[in-house]
Chain A
Amino acid sequence: MALSLPPGLTHAEVSFLAEMEMVTVVPRQRLDSIDLLSGKTPALRPPHRADLPLWLALLLKKQRRANIVPPPWLHPASLSQIVHRETKEDPSAFSEPPPLPSRASSRHPGFASRQGEDGEFIVSPPFRASCTADAPAGYLPYHWLEVAEALLAYAGDDVAGLGSAGEIRGLLRDLVEVRAAKMRDSAGTLGAEGGGGVVSLRGVGALELAENRGFVLGVVDGVRKIGASVEASRREEEMEYEGAGGGGVGEDESDEDMGI
Chain B
Amino acid sequence: MPMYGDLGNKLVSHAKRTQNLANLPPYQTELVRDVTREVRDLDKDVASLLEPFQGSFDPAADQATACTLLVNHLSMRRNKRCLLAYHRTRTDKLEELVWNGADILDLAGQQVGNANGATAGADGGANSLSPQEEDYVRQYGDLLAAYKGQWTDIDLTGSLEPPRDLFIDVRVLKDAGEIQTEYGAINLTKNSQFYVRQGDVERLIAQGYLQKLG
Contact = CB atoms under 8 A, between A and B. Distances in A.
Interface in B65-93: 92
B41 interface: no
B99 interface: yes
15 contacts: A1-B92, A1-B95, A1-B96, A2-B95, A2-B96, A2-B98, A2-B99, A4-B96, A4-B100, A4-B160, A5-B160, A12-B161, A12-B162, A13-B162, A16-B162
A50 to B, nearest CB: 23
Interface residues of A, number: 7
Determine the main DSSP class of B at the interface with A. helix
Interface string A4-45: 110000001100100000000000000000000000000000
User: Which among B160, B161, B162 has the greatest number of chain A C-beta atoms within 10 A?
Assistant: B162
A123 to B, nearest CB: 23
Given A4-B96, A4-B100, A12-B161, 12 more contacts: A1-B92, A1-B95, A1-B96, A2-B95, A2-B96, A2-B98, A2-B99, A4-B160, A5-B160, A12-B162, A13-B162, A16-B162
Contacts, number: 15
B interface, size bucket: under 10
Contacts of A5: 160
Interface of A: 1-2, 4-5, 12-13, 16
B214 to A, nearest CB: 14
Contacts of B92: 1
A1 B99 CA distance: 10
Interface string B90-128: 001001101110000000000000000000000000000
A13 B164 CA distance: 10
A125 to B, nearest CB: 20
Contacts of B99: 2
Nearest to B93: A1
The 3 A-B residue pairs with the shortest CB-CB distance in the complex, in nearest-first order: A16-B162, A2-B99, A1-B92
Contacts of B100: 4
A13 to B, nearest CB: 6
A4 B96 CA distance: 8
Contacts of B98: 2
A13 B98 CA distance: 24
B144 to A, nearest CB: 9
A151 B94 CA distance: 43
Interface in B157-180: 160-162
A2 B162 CA distance: 18
A5 B160 CA distance: 9
Contacts of B160: 4-5
